[in-house]
Amino acid sequence: MTEGVTEELKDKILKYLGTVSKAKNRDVARALEIDKAIVDKGIAELAKEDKIEYIYLGTSYIQLKQK
């Protein structure tokens, strides 16, 4: 696991994404009040685990993986 990234952080990110249709990494960091650099790493891990996906609508967003 990447330094500074915990399962707890990843759960928080997933929980937040469950409350919105899409978000920028910055929105997640602000909502969770966690350093964005750490949130970026957590989001990258979640992408590799195929739990989130990226969507492009004029700019890039993340969202929960659509099953």
Partner 1 sequence: MADNDTPLIDELEKGPWPSYIKEIKRAAKKNAAAKDLLGVQELSFQERITHWKHGGIVGVTGYGAGVIGRYVDAPDKFPAVEMFHTMRINQPAGWFYTTDALRKICDIWEKYGSGLTNFHGSTGDIILLGTNTKSLQPCFDELTEAGFDLGGSGSALRTISCCVGPARCEYSCIDTLDICANLTQEFQDEIHRPRWPYKFKIKISGCPNDGVAAIARADFTIIGTWHDTLRIDQDEVRKYVKNGFDIRGLVTEKCPTKALAWDDKELKLNLRTADCVRCMHCINKMPKALRPGVDRGATILIGGKAPIIKGAYLSWVLVPFMKMEPPYDEAKVLLRKIWEWWDENGRSRERIAELIERMGLKTFLRAVDIKPVPQMVFKPRANPYVFFD
Per CB under 8 A, 21 contacts partner 1 = no
Give min distance, CB of 46 to partner 1, in A: 10
Which residue, 49, 48, 20, 50, is CA-closest to 32?
20
Cα–Cα separations (whole angstroms), residue 41 to 5, 16, 21, 44:
7, 16, 21, 5
Query: Side chain identity at 56, as an amino acid letter?
Result: Y
Per CB under 8 A, 59 contacts partner 1 = yes
Per CB under 8 A, 51 contacts partner 1 = no
Binding site for partner 1 (CB under 8 A): 24-26, 36-37, 40-41, 43-44, 47-48, 50, 53-60, 62, 66
